[in-house]
Amino acid sequence: MRAALVLIFLAISACAQDRAAVAAAQAACGPKNTKFDARQDHTKHPTPEPDPDKALVYVVQEMGETKCTDCALTRVAVDGAWVGANQGSSYFFFWTEGGEHHLCINWQSWLEARSQAVALANFTAGAGKVYYFRTRIFPGHQDYFFDLDLINSDQGKYLVAASLFSVSHPKK
């Protein structure tokens, strides 16, 4: 009996540790109840010059072979605050201070399984530097796969040039 209680206690402790680790990792994300409106802008294609005092970060969303290109809205947070969103195959950018940062991409969907999709990355930004992150959504067996990568500047410039600009704002 005592051995069974010890096993139950250890199992409960292990579950609690996993939840704590997940919560710590998702601290990079913003509040769950914040939703975005986003659209692709066919008339603008901004590519600002780097600021010597801040890092410039591009987030490019690639839809690839996904058939649902207009339904994929992903919101982007840095260090626990939402900074924008991409709609379909698109890009947007933001500036941040130098130092270590934690990036979170979350698929905004009315489908519960998709709204749980989160991709995380960390990076150390340098003032005056430019960083490119790529989000990809792949069709899978029963749903979609979702990922986030820091990519090199040549690939990043190409993807930005080949993508539409995403204009987004939090819903009121």
83-142: pLDDT as tens digits: 999 998 999 999 999 999 999 999 888 877 777 888 999 999 999 999 999 998 877 766
User: How much is the average pLDDT of 7-30?
Assistant: 63
pLDDT at 22 over 80: no
8 pLDDT tier (thresholds 50, 70, 90):
very low
**Token pair of 95, please?**
């500036």
Out of 1.10.287.70, 3.40.50.11740, 2.60.40.2890, 2.70.98.60, which CATH number does the structure's domain 28-170 have? 2.60.40.2890
Quick: pLDDT tens for 23-77: 666 789 999 899 999 999 999 999 999 899 999 999 999 987 666 655 689 999 9
The more confidently predicted of residues 154 and 5 is 154
Question: What is the value of pTM for the model shown?
Answer: 0.84
Domain coordinates in residue numbering, the chain: 28-170
- Evaluate whether 87 touches 104 at the Cβ level (below 8 Å): no
Rounded CA separation 19/14 (Å): 9
Q: Which pLDDT score, from 0 to 100, does residue 53 have?
A: 96
